């Protein structure tokens, strides 16, 4: 009898944890790009400056979680990784292009003649690339769960279920960003982002309900697993946390609203991972069937804690130094100088 080896399970749990970190940090950055693109009203320029100030110190560092995830999939689950990069070649390359364009546009706009504030060509590129990238990421996640043929786009990443999942991801990222910005802003700008957050929450809730309905037809195995007794509790917890976040924001408990929003999206991703189990890509690519040899997995996972000991304190120091708990000024869209 072959002894049970936990390495594939641990590697998959670490991969889901990396996905969660990227969603909570990088996803909020994508959401910031959405609100930059759709900034309206008399304080539109202040909104864009506030988004740039909030993202500026950390937006590049947040991609470390995506890099970590890709390396872990490449080394830990090479068969599934090969299938992903070949089958989803077009959407994943568009995601890469979107990340490059939004980063370049973010920097070029900041140093351009007009700077951050008024809408510009670089600003439009930044917002459009952010929006398209998060939609494609959501569509790719739906594609690995639906069982469609990757070689036929409209049966996988361009299916109605995948497109709706991408739109849900867009609304969720916008909601997360708006809750973060509501917590960091003050004055009239805080109320502007609060309205944006409530609007995005309503859009995300509607998209989630429609997505579940479409899932029952296009991804029946995933739907059956989500409503199974062992996972349904997590799904209900997501709904409860989402409603709690919405109510907290309405009653101006911004810190609680931010925490509950991040918790809802985290539990949602882990609910998907539990329903997807034991598949990485359904059907045909399971966690155990796609895993690297035990020796390779053990060596990779042994190094992970040492990497985290360097990474996590560095990110904490970055956030502490550059973001702190200084509110964004409503008029100037920037953090006030504490020395004044």
- Indicate if the alpha-carbon torsion angle 224, 262, 101, 59 is positive or negative: negative
> Taking 50 as the threshold, does the pLDDT of residue 171 lie above it?
yes
Residue numbers of the domain that contains 12: 7-304
Instruction: Report if residue 145 sits inside a domain.
Output: yes
Q: How far apart are CA 143 and CA 133, in angstroms?
A: 15
> Taking 60 as the threshold, does the pLDDT of residue 331 lie above it?
no
> Taking 60 as the threshold, does the pLDDT of residue 287 lie above it?
yes
Instruction: Report if residue 213 sits inside a domain.
Output: yes
CATH number for the domain harbouring residue 218: 1.20.1630.10
Range 153-169 average pLDDT:
91
Residue linked to tokens 């929450």: 201
Q: How far apart are CA 193 and CA 45, in angstroms?
A: 13
What local confidence, expressed as pLDDT, does residue 325 receive? 52
Instruction: Report if residue 188 sits inside a domain.
Output: yes
Query: What is the reported pTM?
Result: 0.88
- Strands (DSSP E) along the chain, which ranges? 279-281, 285-286
What local confidence, expressed as pLDDT, does residue 148 receive? 82
Closest CA to 36 of 19, 48, 44, 45: 48
Instruction: Report if residue 339 sits inside a domain.
Output: no
What local confidence, expressed as pLDDT, does residue 62 receive? 81
> Taking 90 as the threshold, does the pLDDT of residue 260 lie above it?
yes
Instruction: Report if residue 313 sits inside a domain.
Output: no
Q: How far apart are CA 85 and CA 154, in angstroms?
A: 17
Range 168-182 average pLDDT:
94
Instruction: Report if residue 310 sits inside a domain.
Output: no
CB 58 within 8 A of CB 180: no
pLDDT digits (tens, 9 = 90+) for 113-151: 555 556 678 888 989 999 999 999 999 999 999 988 887
Mean pLDDT of all residues in the chain?
87
What local confidence, expressed as pLDDT, does residue 115 receive? 56
pLDDT digits (tens, 9 = 90+) for 294-328: 999 999 999 999 989 988 898 888 877 776 554 45
Residue linked to tokens 């470390």: 64
CB 137 within 8 A of CB 153: no
Q: How far apart are CA 229 and CA 14, in angstroms?
A: 25
What local confidence, expressed as pLDDT, does residue 332 receive? 44
> Taking 80 as the threshold, does the pLDDT of residue 58 lie above it?
no
Instruction: Report if residue 43 sits inside a domain.
Output: yes
Instruction: Report if residue 337 sits inside a domain.
Output: no
What local confidence, expressed as pLDDT, does residue 73 receive? 94
CB 144 within 8 A of CB 280: yes
What local confidence, expressed as pLDDT, does residue 128 receive? 93
When divided into structural domains, the chain yields a total of 1
Three-point CA angle 144, 87, 68, nearest 5°? 70
Region at 287 (left for phi over 0; alpha for psi -120 to 50; beta for the rest)? alpha
Backbone angles phi, psi at 42, to 5 degrees: -65, -25
> Taking 50 as the threshold, does the pLDDT of residue 330 lie above it?
no
pLDDT digits (tens, 9 = 90+) for 200-259: 999 999 999 999 999 999 999 999 999 999 999 999 999 999 999 999 999 999 999 999
pLDDT digits (tens, 9 = 90+) for 90-120: 999 999 999 999 888 888 877 765 555 566 7
């Amino acid at each position: 009898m072959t002894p049970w080896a936990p390495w594939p399970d641990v590697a998959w749990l670490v991969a889901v944890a990396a996905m969660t970190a990227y969603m909570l940090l990088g996803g909020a950055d994508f959401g910031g790009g959405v609100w930059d693109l759709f900034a309206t009203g008399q304080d539109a320029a202040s909104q864009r400056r506030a988004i740039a100030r909030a993202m500026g110190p950390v937006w590049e560092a947040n991609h470390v979680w995506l890099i970590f995830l890709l390396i872990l999939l490449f080394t830990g689950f090479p068969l599934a990784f090969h299938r992903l990069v070949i089958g989803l070649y077009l959407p994943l390359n568009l995601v890469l292009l979107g990340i490059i364009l939004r980063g370049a546009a973010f920097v070029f706009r900041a140093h351009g003649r007009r700077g951050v504030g008024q809408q510009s060509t670089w600003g439009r590129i930044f917002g459009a690339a952010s929006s398209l990238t998060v939609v494609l990421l959501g569509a790719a996640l739906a594609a690995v769960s639906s069982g469609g043929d990757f070689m036929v786009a409209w049966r996988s990443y361009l299916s109605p279920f995948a497109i709706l999942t991408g739109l849900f991801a867009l609304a969720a990222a916008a909601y997360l960003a708006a809750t973060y910005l509501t917590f960091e802003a003050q004055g009239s700008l805080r109320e502007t982002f609060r309205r944006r957050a409530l609007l995005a929450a309503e859009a995300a809730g509607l998209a989630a309900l429609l997505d579940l309905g479409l899932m029952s037809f296009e991804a029946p195995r995933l739907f059956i697993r989500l409503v199974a007794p062992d996972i349904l509790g997590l799904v209900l917890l997501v709904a409860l946390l989402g409603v709690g976040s919405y109510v907290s924001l309405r009653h101006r408990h911004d810190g609680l609203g931010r925490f509950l929003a991040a918790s809802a999206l985290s539990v949602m991703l882990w609910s998907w991972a539990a329903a997807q189990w034991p598949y990485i890509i359904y059907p045909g690519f399971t966690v155990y069937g796609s895993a690297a040899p035990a020796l390779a997995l053990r060596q990779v996972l042994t190094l992970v804690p040492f990497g985290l000991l360097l990474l996590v304190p560095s990110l904490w120091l970055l956030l502490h130094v550059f973001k702190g708990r200084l509110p964004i000024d409503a008029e100037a869209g920037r953090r006030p100088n504490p020395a004044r």
